[in-house]
Structure 1
């Protein structure tokens, strides 16, 4: 998952419902809110059928079992890797065999970075091998590594105050976790800020809500005109230990070795499948997750689960013989972790038909028990989404939260298309995110069933309404 979206997550709040003389009384040029409520109420039987099939019917646990087979077979799927391209070909065949329509691959150029061997060893005040994970696009060290004294700081502000001490040292950031959106800035910008004051490398406390000595990787960015220095994440435990040592005046020396290399861009693909609309096939509700992952764990949670409940949403609708008025389009993005590379190229290719996109949906925040959907759009569109979510009262998942943004759908949202993200327990999610712990063991089949039910009901009803969501 890409960090920029999480700048919004610290302010997520449940928004008030539209009632009385609210601004959303008139949801379209011809349709009143009362009429749209009556139309959506007519989908209760369809919603119940979807929920029953997903949660306790023949499709029960299907998304979990499909995902387990997939990640057990392929493993993690880093941009530019053979694993990712194998995964894309497997998914292409899966979607064809599932009977979905217009299954195809759309070419994308993606970054290709490999971490190679890496290690960090504390040499002073004692010998202590440290668990690390190099950050995406980091440069490597010389073959013999870098041996340098450590400067521990807790913030960028402290780094600036102590800038004269940083030259020739390895900067260790021990920033407190204050939610992903705020804290991830240290992972993204830590190397640049350290290099600006003359550091030779940077080690960042993993951006995680919980740790059992588990480093978490992720993307970082260099800046033109600033030296590129090696950068990696270390565990919360080691960052806090070094902060304690430094506070006592103890000298800390680390040897850092990283073989990381950046290669020319590689060929990859966005993977697409559809249920073609019966009345307005040119109009689209887009349902999505990303197929790539980091090169640790299995990429099961981030974002195998999001990709597979998005596939499951179309499977459930197809299995029930439902065909909405608009096209339901599944897109499994490539190279999301490198900054939404696949989704940007998709947007550039398809933005000419932006007026035909009713809703863009992305599941990339894990698949624990869902609490509702995040939504970005007009008040009029929000009124409709709230009515659709009321169809999920049988499973008590009806909340409409703020901020439906996601890395892969933000281009559309910024251009005015309504967007939705599946929401669940973010603290649990960031315990596993971008770590070796991102495996099937982190997931629960029942919770995935509920996620798929929510995703299918929302996408189907919005795609089948008489009118598109108002901008």
Structure 2
């Protein structure tokens, strides 16, 4: 399904976004003139806030298989073309089509209350609103007992997740509780988690098979609360049901319903979800390219994944990586017109389902992979880059160290390096290249609460971006790309001798994995 989106954006938003904080360069530091131009452009003409507005507020979350993902592909390609950069969409597979709709979840008994809840990705819609009693999992200790209880869920809405007695973060408890109380509450929480995990194991199910069993038994809907441990933030992943809705309820409302059900109040909730199941849809990477003038068959790749989960806007996972790489391409096109090697930007699809876009690119573009000088990937939040690993390439220090010397000291001084490091086996898209023996480097950021607060959560929104930190990363990425392009030598790909693990076995270099080309079995 093709979407044409036209944004009426106030001029004040699209105009140059200036910030009081800038990339400061010591007057005694002599930068390469091109690098100095990068710094000047970032300081005086940054387009980051406008790019973020268009992507995050305009298009929104970018779940693979949705019209919004295709809209993001088209938007990013058109943005590159507007800067005079060749761009196209490269298909790597298909995925089940789906589009989020309006979701209403309300408690209707014993009193009226609108609940804070989110439909899980790919969850079936309700043909008509589902209104039913809420029940909790039974206090049983075996699969036989649980299976005997299962028929009683027919027509009910089942709370399937662990109940959280305290909805405060560990950090807040530690700040205000006495040391004795903190230790007591910490142990109670750990014990409750262990007991719940043991319970699920004892009844013979897991997070995938339990929803399937409840659905087969006739449940009207399933509700979970995938709380992060930070107030207000829940993680949103995919539904495990095929015909009934599956929703996530914020910890506060989930706890209220749980206590009511446990105490015999027989609460009822009403669920209305208007999502749409769409036909199987094509999955794309957005590929932009500035042809090299001297070595067009050698490549420097800028890497970030364009897709996201859709509990929020996908701002720090990975909108910040996307706008970093787009802004870097704009600046390189403007201030580095005689690039020696071809500079490629890859904005990957379906990273969240297993690095499928970047793995597809590696599989489908063997000549580019053969000629790739380096890959620079950014994918862990809004913070300034503070770590670069050599990813297991023996001589990576020789070239990464040299390239880093061209970076302004105020940017470089934040960065710790690890050479030769260990190859990444997963986690983000540089891993797809490392597995293929290509020097792929993660530009790892200061987390700014990433893993607890924004990673895959309902709070991953525009306002969590710290643009001054992202500017720092643009200067870094543009300089690394420039230096990698200019380097007279092709990067050495010699792999390190892998260490022996605690079992006495020699660790193996990660294997190249085929992408999932469709959603079968997912």
Q: TM-score, with normalisation over the residues of structure 1? A: 0.72
- After the TM superposition, which residues 18-417 of structure 1 pair with which residues of structure 2 at under 5 Å, given as runs? 45=32, 48-49=35-36, 52-53=39-40, 55-56=42-43, 58-59=44-45, 61-100=46-85, 102-108=86-92, 109-122=94-107, 126-141=111-126, 143-145=128-130, 147-151=132-136, 163-164=146-147, 168=153, 170-174=158-162, 190-196=207-213, 200=219, 201-208=221-228, 210-212=230-232, 214-220=233-239, 230-242=245-257, 254-267=269-282, 269-295=284-310, 297-321=312-336, 323-337=338-352, 339-351=354-366, 353-373=368-388, 376-381=391-396, 384-386=399-401, 388-389=403-404, 391-392=406-407, 393-395=409-411, 396-400=413-417, 405-417=426-438
1:53 aligns to what SS in structure 2? helix
Change (3 A) 1:207 1:309: farther
1:426 aligns to what SS in structure 2? coil
Question: CA–CA distance in 2 between the matches of 1:345 and 1:453?
Answer: 29
2:385 aligns to what SS in structure 1? coil
1:210 aligns to what SS in structure 2? coil
Higher alpha-carbon deviation: 269-278 or 158-167: 158-167
Structure 1: tracts of 5 or more residues without a match: 1-42
The question of whether the paired residues in 2 share the 8 Å contact of 1:55 and 1:446 is answered with no
Aligned to 1:456: 478
Structure 2: tracts of 5 or more residues without a match: 1-29, 171-192, 201-205, 496-522
Change (3 A) 1:318 1:417: same
Question: CA–CA distance in 1 between the matches of 2:71 and 2:126?
Answer: 30
Query: Please, what is the CA RMSD of the aligned residues?
Result: 4.1
| Greater RCO, 1 or 2 (C-alpha within 8 Å, sep 6+) | 1
Aligned to 2:465: 443
Please identify the structure whose Cα radius of gyration is greater.
2
Question: CA–CA distance in 2 between the matches of 1:240 and 1:219?
Answer: 22
Change (3 A) 1:370 1:238: farther
Deviation per CA, 1:404-457, whole angstroms, max 9, x where unpaired? 544444433333323223322435334234456444322232122112112222
Question: CA–CA distance in 1 between the matches of 2:268 and 2:398?
Answer: 58
Higher alpha-carbon deviation: 406-415 or 453-462: 406-415
Question: CA–CA distance in 1 between the matches of 2:394 and 2:334?
Answer: 33
Change (3 A) 1:322 1:249: farther
* 1:330, distance to aligned residue in structure 2 (A): 0.5
1:277 aligns to what SS in structure 2? coil
Deviation per CA, 1:313-366, whole angstroms, max 9, x where unpaired? 222333332644432211122344455444344333214653223333332222
* 1:399, distance to aligned residue in structure 2 (A): 2.0
Higher alpha-carbon deviation: 272-281 or 124-133: 124-133
Question: CA–CA distance in 1 between the matches of 2:302 and 2:240?
Answer: 29
Deviation per CA, 1:233-288, whole angstroms, max 9, x where unpaired? 22233344456667768765544443444322224542222232344322222212
1:301 aligns to what SS in structure 2? helix
